[in-house]
Amino acid sequence: MRVLFLVIGLTVTNCHIISDYQEPNFTNEEPDDFSYYLNDVPDFEIVHFSNFPSPTHVEHPLEIKIFGNTLNLRLRRNELLTAPNFKALVKDDVDRELNFTGKSNCHFLHKDENFMAAISFCQDQQAQGILFLPNDTFEIQPVPVSKPHTYNVPHLVRRIPFLPEVFTNDVSSVILPLEENQQKFKRDENGGSKKLTIEAALFFDEAAYKLFAPYFKYNDEELTNMLLAYMNAIQALYHHPSLKQAIDIVLVKLEIFKKQPADLPHYDGERSQLLDSFCAYNQKHNPKDDKNPSHWDMGLYVSGLDFFAYENGRKSGVTMGLATVGGVCMDKYNCVIAELGTTNVFGKPYPSAGFTSVYVLAHEIGHNIGMHHDSTGNNCPKEGYIMSPSRGTNGETLWSSCSANIMRTMGWAKCLEDAPSKPAKKLDHTKYGKQPGVVWGAKKQCEVLLRDSDAEIYNPAELEGICENLRCKTPHRSGFYFAGPALEGTSCGDSKSCQGGKCAAQKKQPTQNVVKGGWSNWTNVSECSSACIQRSKGFMPRRRTCTNPKPVNTDEGCEGSGYEVVLCMDDKLCKNKRQKINEFASKKCKQFSKLLPELDKNASGLQATYESDRLWMSCAIFCRRKNSNSYYTPRFELNDLHEDPYFPDGTWCHSDGKINHYCIQHHCLPENFKLTKGILPDDDLLLPQNAKPNAKPASDNLMKYFSIDLNKTPLLKILKPESEEPKDDDDEWFDEDYIEIPGLDL
């Protein structure tokens, strides 16, 4: 089993996304930009502001007319929105500070007996903010247009759907600067306990950056938003009622390592040495005085490395994190390491690969604030809760009574009682309102798990089950992948969302107009490409998006796939340089043998005979096994690597005497085959492709199913997936993921 490692959370202002707004005056918006503003709530109006504050204004009057009402605001500049000592850095050969704070004098607040507002004017002629009315909340955003406006920029004001308790804490913190004495922080007197806040510093290492940066097209702000959603999900867990007392988590520092710091060696992921290394780095760079606004209570090292430990003389790779129990207020021990985005050597994702890692990190935070495993020194059950000693991808989304009991005895953690400064708006994870799934929906969570923009829900008909375990697929791989419980707020059906691991009905909302999604036109991803194999053709991948129109107030999306491959003539590309198919296969088998030593690197590869009930057969590359008279296709082992175990699209694979067949997305299909719904024939490898804690060889049946003899005859034609699917056993991920501090009795 993989070890759980500790991580920390932050606080965020509510952020929602709105969907396709289409008005005759605004037809040239860039769809990718505009889709940020319009999502599932079509209740909006377009307004124009007649005046904007100057940089010297401390107060500014503003009139807004929306939905038949006139709101008169008297805005006052918010001097405390951005913490003066906050730093967000990208560390490379030359360190660069991320400029998220904007102008320091552009944030304004309004409060009266009727409503409240927070509006920022940080860009010329543009406003962004939130209006809090007694029974409604509205968001203000500038409408993105293709041509820049020098004045009178149109703004969209839309009604935000109600989410239980999303705004409660945010409203009070927004109002703080308006109080006469500008008090720093009021303690929560509920039950006589003090309000606890973890001030966190997050360090995203070079290995993790290399994993995620390509997916986000090397956009540091997009990567930061993903980290904020990730931390916000942890915050939501620490606000769950099952914990009895909430803990706020605020980001004080964020560093993204494009290049690993010289004083922070990673030891290739050996967990004990890495934790010691990070703890030393954390202590070195953390200001000593807890009263220093730049000081943090807990350092979080989030890594793309595959952690491991040596147990009984053997290397074990089941660990996912490491933390000390009760180390939060000690300079030497307030440090945690955790995996994010990790896969095994074959590219198969561990439970820490996607948003499941938020449960891992919440678990590790629990250790650092004094929690032990359920069933260890207490009477709570071993399974079913966040502090379970194992962590797979199933359930465990609530806190046990033992964890809640620890929260009632936190008087020793004095460092958590001081009030933090409000973080910079764009570096504030509370913008997801403890409901990150509203913004990071099920498809987006699948994309993060597989780092693949084509990834999606495995079976949209099983939406209600995603709150316990989300399953994902991609057209580029076989089988499916467990992503773990979907994030809080993820839509799981009509008027339903994931809450505490369950698909729960949302509070009744006004009837909303439903707009079914429609596909855009296909767009070629690249020009015609070819491997120049004899009798074959070239291929062109192309994509389409569900944006014509974009679905509104429905989870159905568009039927079919947004990715396909079409054939093209490659004569100009290949001319007289075509290779035999066995030559191509032999070269690939030699490459495969570097990863799979059981393959004979000196033997030739070959193409299998076409089979109508297994369309992948004649598109898979078969390689000779050492000391064997059979050929084997490593579909299972190489499914998640960049080494493709198939012939390229466009490879000739069969002829029925009339029509030639070619490989298209790993299937041997007729040349004129049309995907009427954009859906390929069912894949026969319907098995979970997640990494297992202890690597096991493929079963005998699986080996035979993927093998042929010297006459190209299959050794096994029928495979029952249910007989090959491993039984869920999260105990396999069990490990001691914490370190006891000598002399500390909690």
Region 93-121: mean pLDDT is 65
Task: Indicate the range of 50-54, 143-147, 309-313, 451-455 predicted with least confidence.
Answer: 143-147
The answer, yes or no, to whether residue 81 has pLDDT greater than 70, is no
Gap between the Cα atoms of 713 and 728, Å rounded: 34
Q: What is the mean pLDDT of the chain?
A: 74
Task: Indicate the range of 190-199, 261-270, 345-354 predicted with least confidence.
Answer: 345-354
Q: Which pLDDT does position 283 carry in this prediction?
A: 96
Question: CATH topology of 190-428 equal to that of 442-505?
Answer: no
- Residue 549: asked if its preceding bond is cis (omega within 30°), the reply is yes
The answer, yes or no, to whether residue 167 has pLDDT greater than 60, is no
The answer, yes or no, to whether residue 15 has pLDDT greater than 80, is no
C-alpha pair distances (Å), 499 with each of 163, 167, 438, 516, 621: 11, 16, 12, 26, 45
Q: Which pLDDT does position 624 carry in this prediction?
A: 94
Q: Note the pLDDT tens digit of each residue in 565-590.
A: 899 999 999 988 899 999 999 999 99
The answer, yes or no, to whether residue 431 has pLDDT greater than 60, is no
The answer, yes or no, to whether residue 253 has pLDDT greater than 70, is yes
CB 527 within 8 A of CB 540: yes
Close Cβ partners of 427 (under 8 Å, ≥ 6 residues apart): 86, 88, 98, 100, 101, 224, 228, 251, 254
Q: Which pLDDT does position 570 carry in this prediction?
A: 94
Q: Note the pLDDT tens digit of each residue in 537-570.
A: 999 999 898 888 887 766 566 777 888 889 999 9
What stretch of H or E contains 232?
helix 220-237
Q: How many residues does the structure list for the chain?
A: 746
Q: Is 149 annotated as a binding residue?
A: no
Domain ranges of the chain: 31-85+96-160, 190-428, 442-505
The answer, yes or no, to whether residue 512 has pLDDT greater than 50, is yes
Region 492-515: mean pLDDT is 77
DSSP H helices in 238-333: 271-285
Q: Note the pLDDT tens digit of each residue in 667-684.
A: 999 988 875 544 455 455
Region 493-516: mean pLDDT is 77
List the Cα angle 538/543/544 in 5-degree steps. Answer: 145
Please name the CATH architecture into which domain 190-428 falls: 3-Layer(aba) Sandwich (3.40)
C-alpha pair distances (Å), 22 with each of 66, 147, 550: 18, 17, 11
CA 494 to chain centre: 23
139, 206, 364, 637: which one is catalytic?
364
Instruction: Band the pLDDT of 252: cuts 50, 70, 90.
Output: confident
Instruction: Band the pLDDT of 31: cuts 50, 70, 90.
Output: very low
Q: Which pLDDT does position 433 carry in this prediction?
A: 55
Q: Which two tokens stand for residue 528?
A: 């015609």
The answer, yes or no, to whether residue 124 has pLDDT greater than 80, is no
What DSSP line would sit under 87-101, residue for residue? EEEEESSS-EE---S
Gap between the Cα atoms of 408 and 246, Å rounded: 11
pLDDT top residue among 716 and 737: 716
The answer, yes or no, to whether residue 284 has pLDDT greater than 50, is yes
Q: Note the pLDDT tens digit of each residue in 440-494.
A: 788 888 887 777 777 888 777 778 888 988 888 887 777 777 877 888 888 888 8
Close Cβ partners of 241 (under 8 Å, ≥ 6 residues apart): none
Q: Is 363 annotated as a binding residue?
A: yes
- Interhelix angle 220-237/357-368, rounded to 10 degrees, is 60
The answer, yes or no, to whether residue 21 has pLDDT greater than 80, is no
- The topology under which CATH files domain 442-505 is YefM-like fold (3.40.1620)
Instruction: Band the pLDDT of 398: cuts 50, 70, 90.
Output: confident
Q: Note the pLDDT tens digit of each residue in 287-321.
A: 998 888 889 999 999 998 888 887 666 666 667 88
pLDDT top residue among 277 and 464: 277
Gap between the Cα atoms of 523 and 563, Å rounded: 10
> pTM score, two decimals?
0.47
What does DSSP say about strands 738-739 and 321-324: parallel, antiparallel, or unpaired? Answer: parallel
Gap between the Cα atoms of 582 and 447, Å rounded: 35
Gap between the Cα atoms of 451 and 453, Å rounded: 7
Q: Is 113 a catalytic residue?
A: no
Q: Is 429 annotated as a binding residue?
A: no
C-alpha pair distances (Å), 491 with each of 90, 470, 488: 34, 12, 9
What type of residue is 176? L
Q: Which pLDDT does position 369 carry in this prediction?
A: 92
What type of residue is 297? D
Region 366-381: mean pLDDT is 88
Q: Which pLDDT does position 265 carry in this prediction?
A: 95
